[in-house]
Structure 1
């Protein structure tokens, strides 16, 4: 281990990573418990998708504010504050559960509140990584943070699937509450460089001026604009499929047990881990101009997924459908993760530290604008084609081919060096 404060495996970076593991594990357990509870309560994909979409809206609206706050205040202190707040929100929900008032509306309110906190929390984390590691290690650092996040998201559904049927939603929610609290405690011991910036006005107009400077910077960077557009389109047609379509097909179409349902969601997160761990292998050969090839690969792998849930394969039993579906889903999610880390790393390297929180938050907000639309779209499609769930997948295949062609044209003249 190196003593340099910007070395990859320094004490402060490790504490950030551990804090992320615990916090994201708590979030994953809570998300699994609430989503499974809603699906079991209603059995409807459209209601499930609507809740996911509603919880995404705060990130779209508030991420730029969160980015401005992350660049203006001590990022470590912000992470501590937001984890403590998440713990308090979940603790309040526990009391409602114990009183027997766990309605779909209440669950929606909790998800919105946690979405608001996440919109403030994530820019602080993303802007902290370049401060705690050398630029040469930034790709690996992003891969590690992404990988441990995916690992926690993997453990969440798998552990949740086992515990949900054994101990119920109450214990899972309490565990997530404790996880947020422990993450905040660990973050207290992080030492992070912070230089207080001069403030000549009240905090509200200052934050709006900071956001304006972030938007101006983004508008002057053609690569960032194109990356945001591409991310928004993928959030409309590809990402929502794994958030809405996969849980619906596993739980309703294939009627997975609690354990198998948890494993199926865990496999998606495991694929993200594989993508994060292999980023070092592919990054040196990747270029902005050839990202379309990755999208074409994803498009090709979508077709067998449609076949996996077609009546022809479903008649053969649960496991043939399950295996074929995830043989394709794993490389798709790996490719999505690799492309995401590659693009984020380039943006981080190009952006000054005093603008980093705002720029990353603006990218997140713009990219996520399409997510609620995509989630509601897939919810409606899977509800309408509940007896032929392969049809929405075929629509996704056609759209991904178009996106691949558009990416080839849009990024052909970009020569950004990672």
Structure 2
């Protein structure tokens, strides 16, 4: 039984800072691509800029992991939030004075890169601010904050953008990042300085090597877990990211508002999954992760069946929406419990690097999967693509059972 409240001063400040910072991030990352699309009218340019912005997030994540283990984590969070506020202020000053496409692309790439460097500091701070038995609940709270910000950000950003244009969104975002940075200055996160030897580049290279050697020699099961996550992102997550809009708009001929409801259901599913995980806490065990992934595979199969010829569009839409909610509940629960397991088995001085490796490797597969599924949905029936994705994901889920059992028991096998 937990004898200490999770929501002590410093953890609460981290949570509030995350709410404000992530909300500011969500509204500006929603508005900038939309502004570019409205100004240029080019869907191809819209997609190219979005794809380019993803690259710095992957590249900066390991660097952020190194920084999280060497620099006081509150310093990283506050400095990056101050920098982001300044970046958006600069964008606002240069808007309409500088060519829009390179300005927007550069701003988005920097925003995604900052987010990639920022999150390892947050993840590495959780075990320092929560008791070991509270790790699952603490990760669930942080995940809920991320989900809620991602859900409300586009809604508020869409209202502001439709009513007032881009500039009010920029000022709101600047205010969010500045307020979050000031609040983060008052967080007390335990920090043990590490000595740096040689240049910054050699220190980064050595630290990344230390993190990789720890994974490969002492926790090779982390490698297997990264492979499982990457495969699942490749075969299922990417299929749903591409397939749900295709299913709702093109196959079922539903309106944009119906698509918005379906995507909102995904956000609510992530929120509900976080709440459920926080409530259950340590009672959730990672050894059942394979069953969770298998259940997630079944949601894609149900979506595929809902798109078969002869199924009414209304029934198909309800099925796709319900399964969108369910798959986000399941995936959120798994990610939270997996994060807690990794945090509990990694030394504090390596945690930032290890979490960054896991996030970078697992996320790399999603863009490739989206490109492949984009072509498949163009040339094949949507129901066949989703059923094929469900079958591939089920095979991955069967393989993952052994991995999750080993990780749950703390085995290095």
Normalising by the residue count of structure 2, what TM-score does the alignment of the two structures yield? 0.87
Distance verdict in 2 for CA 1:412–1:69, change over 3 Å: closer
- The match for 2:159 is 162
What are structure 2's unaligned runs of at least 5 residues? Answer: none
- The match for 1:401 is 394
- The match for 1:348 is 343
Q: Please point out which of 150, 157, 160 is paired with 1:153.
A: 150
Distance verdict in 2 for CA 1:293–1:51, change over 3 Å: farther
- The match for 1:14 is 12
Contact 2:20 2:180 in 1 (8 A): yes
Contact 1:154 1:265 in 2 (8 A): no
Any idea what the Cα deviations from partners look like across 1:273-294, whole Å, max 9, x if unmatched?
Answer: 1111111466655544432211
Moved more, 400-409 or 119-128: 400-409
- With a CA cutoff of 8 Å and minimum separation of 6, indicate the structure with the bigger relative contact order: 1
Offset of residue 322 of structure 1: 4.0
- The match for 1:233 is 231
Alignment of 1:93-112 (within 5 A): 93-99=91-97, 101-103=99-101, 105-112=102-109
Alignment of 1:237-386 (within 5 A): 237-246=235-244, 254=253, 256-257=255-256, 262-280=260-278, 284=282, 286-308=284-306, 316=313, 320-382=315-377, 384-385=378-379
Moved more, 53-62 or 336-345: 53-62
Offset of residue 416 of structure 1: 1.6
Normalising by the residue count of structure 1, what TM-score does the alignment of the two structures yield? 0.86
Pair 1:75-2:73 in alignment: yes
Alignment of 1:117-156 (within 5 A): 117-156=114-153
Distance verdict in 2 for CA 1:415–1:269, change over 3 Å: closer
Q: Secondary structure at the residue paired with 1:198?
A: coil
Offset of residue 335 of structure 1: 0.4
Contact 1:76 1:188 in 2 (8 A): yes
CA RMSD of aligned residues (A): 3.1
Any idea what the Cα deviations from partners look like across 1:232-257, whole Å, max 9, x if unmatched?
Answer: 11222233345444456667775644
Distance 1:167 1:11 in 2: 37
Pair 1:205-2:198 in alignment: no
Offset of residue 346 of structure 1: 0.5
Distance 2:97 2:179 in 1: 26
Distance verdict in 2 for CA 1:96–1:113, change over 3 Å: same
Distance verdict in 2 for CA 1:133–1:392, change over 3 Å: same
Contact 1:97 1:170 in 2 (8 A): no
Contact 2:273 2:330 in 1 (8 A): yes
Pair 1:214-2:211 in alignment: yes
Offset of residue 155 of structure 1: 0.9
Moved more, 163-172 or 176-185: 163-172
Offset of residue 405 of structure 1: 2.6
Distance 1:297 1:141 in 2: 25
